[in-house]
Amino acid sequence: MRTHFLVPALAGGVSAIVSEDGTGRLPALGWNSWNEYDCNINERVFLQVAQAFIDLGLKDAGYEYINIDDCWSVQPRRRDSQGRMIPDPNKFPNGIKGLADKIHAMGLKLGIYSDAGTMTCALYEGSLYHEEVDAATFADWGIDSDPRLDLKYDNCQYPSQWNDQYNYRPDIPSETVQAPPGYDYGTSNTAERYRRMRDPLLSQDRTIQYSLCAWGAAHVERWGNQTGHSWRMFGDIYPIWAGKNGGYNWGIMPILNQAAHHWNDTGFWGHGDWDMLEVGNGDLTVEESRSHFAMWAALKSPLIIGTRLEGIQSDILAILKNRELLAFNQDEVYADAVMPFNLDRPLEPTTPNSAHPPSHWVGTSVAGIHVFLLNTENYPRDLGVTFADVPGLDTSGARRFLVHDMWTGQDIGEYEGSFTLNVRRHDTAALRFTAVDGGHPNSDWTPRLG
C-alpha cells in the first residue's frame, strides 16, 4: 500500500511529499556521526549513542534518528553479485541490518548515508546509476516493526556530464554561472540527480525520510520540497563562531547570516537544513552553543546532534534538551521559521566575514509570540524591543505583556511598552511573550513577509 503522496502544499502551490505516518512534517530530531567521529565509525559507536539517548533523556526529549554518515561501506569500493552496497565487515560485523534491528529494539530509528555521485565525499561507493537497488537495499535493511528510516544524500563526485549549465553554490560565489532571468533550477542536473533517488525511495513499502545534502546548490530551496523532506542550504558547518576553516567549513555566524536571507523557505513537510549541530564541539563557548541551538531550533532546521555523548557536560546536555526550544521547533500548528526584524544594519551577503547576522528574530508558536535576541558583539550588550515594533504582537488592546525566559522556563515579569535585558557576549535571549492573563497575544499571526 502506498503511504506517501506528492501533493501541492497549501502555500505558494509548491508540491511537497506528504506521508500518512507524518514523516517529514516536522523537522527531524536525531544524532549523526560526522561532526565528531568523521570516518572513525563502527557499530559500537551507534549502539552507545542509542543507549545514551535513553540514559540521558534525549529519547524522551524527542530525538529519534541515529544516523550513520560517510565511510560505512567497504574499501576498495565494490558491490556484491546482486549489485548491492557492502557494509564494511570490520566496522559493522552484523551488517547495517544487524545494527538497525538493535536500534529499533531500543525504540529508535536508524539513518543511512549515500551520495548523488559515483562516490561519496570521502570516496566510498555512491548511488548515482544505482538508485533503484540502493533504495531497495536501504529499505530492506531497515525492515521491522518501525518502518521509518533516514537517508542523507550527499552531493560529491558526480561525472562532469552532470555539471549544471548555470552553476549556483551560495558558499562559493566565485563558481556561480549566472542563469537567465526566470530560469527554473528544478530543471538543473543537480535537481535531476536528487529526483533519480526520490522516485525509488517513494516506491518502497516504507517511508524514508529523505535529507538532501546539496549545500544550497542549484537553489535547492526552490525544488527541495517536491524532492525530499529537508535540504542542506550551505557548505559544511564547523565548530567556530565566525569565519571559515579551509575551503568548505563555515562558522555559526556566516551560516546564520545566510539563513536570514532564506528564513521563509521552510514549512510543514519541507525544511531548510542549516547543518548538523556543533553544540558542545570545538572551541564554542557555552553561550555560543546556546545561540547556535536556539537559532537552529527557531529556524525549524532539523536538529541533528553532532557531539560525543559519553561524558557530555551537563550544561551542554541541558541546551540540547531544552523543552521550550524543542517545542518551538516541533510545533504542530505553526510551521514557519523565525524571521529577522528591527535590522540594525543592512543584511550582508554571506561571506566568511559575516560576523553580524541580525540580532532580532521573531516567530510564533501555540504558546505565544517568541523573540530571540542574539548578541553578536564581543562584549555584553543591552538588547530589547518596543512592543509596538514586534511583528505579530497585538498591542491594540492590552499593552502589558508577560515576558518568559525559554532557557530557564521561568516568567521574568509583566512589562509595559518595552522590554530590555543584558545579553552576554555571543549569547541569545530566548523569550516568549503572552498577554498578562497568559493568553496568546495573536494566534492569527504567522511570520510571513509579502
Q: Interacting stretch for ligand GAL, rule CB under 6 A, among 83-91, 120-128, 366-374, 440-448?
A: 120-128
Q: Does position 154 bind ligand GAL by CB under 6 A?
A: yes
Given the residues 134, 171, 236, 331, the one annotated as active site: 236
Q: Does position 36 bind ligand GAL by CB under 6 A?
A: no
Which cell is 156 given? 560529491
Nearest to ligand GAL of 277, 367 (CB atom): 277
Distance of CA 125 to the CA centre of its chain: 25
Minimum distance of ligand GAL from residue 214's CB (angstroms):
9
Q: How many residues in the shown chain lie near ligand GAL by CB under 6 A?
A: 10
Nearest Cα residue to 211 out of 192, 190, 232: 232
CA separation for the pair 110, 142 (Å, rounded): 7
Q: Interacting stretch for ligand GAL, rule CB under 6 A, among 45-53, 118-126, 192-200, 291-299?
A: 118-126
154 in active site = yes
- Member of 121, 233, 255, 338 binding ligand GAL (CB under 6 A): 121
Which cell is 168 given? 549556483
Minimum distance of ligand GAL from residue 213's CB (angstroms):
5
Q: List Cβ<8 Å contacts ≥24 apart for 128-132.
A: 128/158, 128/159, 128/162, 128/193, 128/196, 130/79, 130/83, 130/85, 131/196, 131/197, 131/199, 131/200, 132/200
Q: Does position 122 bind ligand GAL by CB under 6 A?
A: yes
Nearest to ligand GAL of 69, 336 (CB atom): 69
Residues between 239 and 298 that touch ligand GAL (CB under 6 A):
none
Which cell is 149 given? 528510516
CA separation for the pair 189, 79 (Å, rounded): 25
Q: Does position 394 bind ligand GAL by CB under 6 A?
A: no
Q: How far is CA 104 from CA 11, 98, 198, in A?
A: 35, 10, 24
Q: How far is CA 144 from CA 104, 108, 389, in A?
A: 8, 12, 52
For 395, counting Cβ atoms within 10 Å of its Cβ (0-12 exposed, 13-18 middle, 19+ buried), the class is middle
- Member of 70, 164, 278, 394 binding ligand GAL (CB under 6 A): 70
Q: How far is CA 190 from CA 35, 97, 197, 271, 312, in A?
A: 25, 30, 12, 18, 38
Nearest to ligand GAL of 120, 289 (CB atom): 120
Given the residues 150, 154, 273, 394, the one annotated as active site: 154
Q: Does position 221 bind ligand GAL by CB under 6 A?
A: no
Q: What are phi and psi of 73, to 5 degrees?
A: -100, 175
Q: Interacting stretch for ligand GAL, rule CB under 6 A, among 116-124, 127-135, 173-181, 198-206?
A: 116-124
Q: Does position 69 bind ligand GAL by CB under 6 A?
A: yes
Minimum distance of ligand GAL from residue 232's CB (angstroms):
6
236 in active site = yes
Q: Which residue has the cell 538493535?
A: 102
- Member of 213, 317, 337, 431 binding ligand GAL (CB under 6 A): 213
| Residues 150, 30 contacting (CB under 8 angstroms) | yes
Could you tell me the maximum CA-CA distance found in the chain, to the nearest angstrom? 72
CA separation for the pair 330, 302 (Å, rounded): 10
Q: Does position 125 bind ligand GAL by CB under 6 A?
A: no
Residue 262, Ramachandran bin (φ over 0: left; ψ between -120 and 50: alpha; else beta): alpha
Minimum distance of ligand GAL from residue 385's CB (angstroms):
35
Residues between 16 and 35 that touch ligand GAL (CB under 6 A):
34
Nearest to ligand GAL of 217, 406 (CB atom): 217
Nearest to ligand GAL of 121, 197 (CB atom): 121
Catalytic residues: 154, 236
The residues that touch ligand GAL, with contacts defined as CB under 6 A, are 34, 69-70, 120-122, 154, 156, 213, 236
